[in-house]
Amino acid sequence: MTGLKGKTAIITGASRSKGIGAAICRSLAESGADIFFTHWSPFDGESGNGEEPEFPEVFKKELQSFGVRAAHMEADLSRDDAPQMVIAKTEEMLGAPSILINNATYESHADFKTLNREILDKHYRVNNSGTILLSVEFAKKFEAAFPESKDGRIIHMVSKGPDPNNLAYIATKGMLIGITEPLSVALAPVGITVNAVDPGPTDTGWMNEEIKNHLLPLFPAGRLGLPEDAAKLIKFLVSSDGGWITGQTIKSEGGFTGK
């Protein structure tokens, strides 16, 4: 598999050392890509994952130890100006990006009795509006900066399943699955592939022992999913070897048998 030296990758939602976003950053940096990551610590505190206020600067130095450039910014994708700000800051600090990993997400449990417009809108603004408009801004910048290139990459991190207590999250992630194929067709002439990756249940620190014991029998490989599992697939998809794969939603969940 070819390396990523000379490429700049944006990874959104890298706020915690054990998260999928951080694993993706490490994997791409190891392959030579310069890394621009965004974070939004208030959500980690609100969601119960725990804030790591020193993480961004410490993590930047960790990524630089791979011999690549790294930079970061705090970004609330629910803000209307966030997509333009992320692209502009990336270009200012590292140059025009050619890889975008839409990992940032908003999640708040809601069943049919508690779901309301406010909860749905919070999910929509981050998981759909912010993410899709960031993808569009990225594509426009890529087209202008790399008119002859065919190595642009967009990847959406998605989810699915019949969880009745997580209606807004699954609905909005379903919209990302839905837009992946038509966006891939729109951006193929520009030289950008668009895919979605579903990592399944992943042990990023949020699972207690009860949850682990419930999920483990549903993994036929005999272990839980790890952040590095999704990161390895993404490293392949953004490489030149993954250039003929587009418009796909790919499960990277070890044969998970749960629903």
Catalytic entry in 124, 169, 219, 256: 169
* 169 assigned to active site: yes
The DSSP element (H or E) to which 72 belongs, if any, is strand 70-74
Asked: is 8-251 a CATH 3.40.50.720 domain? The reply is yes
| pTM of the shown model | 0.94
The domain locations on the chain are: 8-251
Quick one: which H or E segment has residue 85?
Answer: helix 82-94
Give per-residue pLDDT as tens, 1-60. Answer: 568 999 999 999 999 999 999 999 999 999 999 999 999 977 555 555 556 778 999 999
Contacts of 216-220 spanning 24+ positions with Cβ under 8 A: 218/256, 218/257, 218/258, 219/254, 219/255, 219/256, 219/257, 220/254, 220/255, 220/257
pLDDT digits (tens, 9 = 90+) for 64-117: 999 999 999 999 999 999 999 999 999 999 999 999 999 999 999 999 999 999
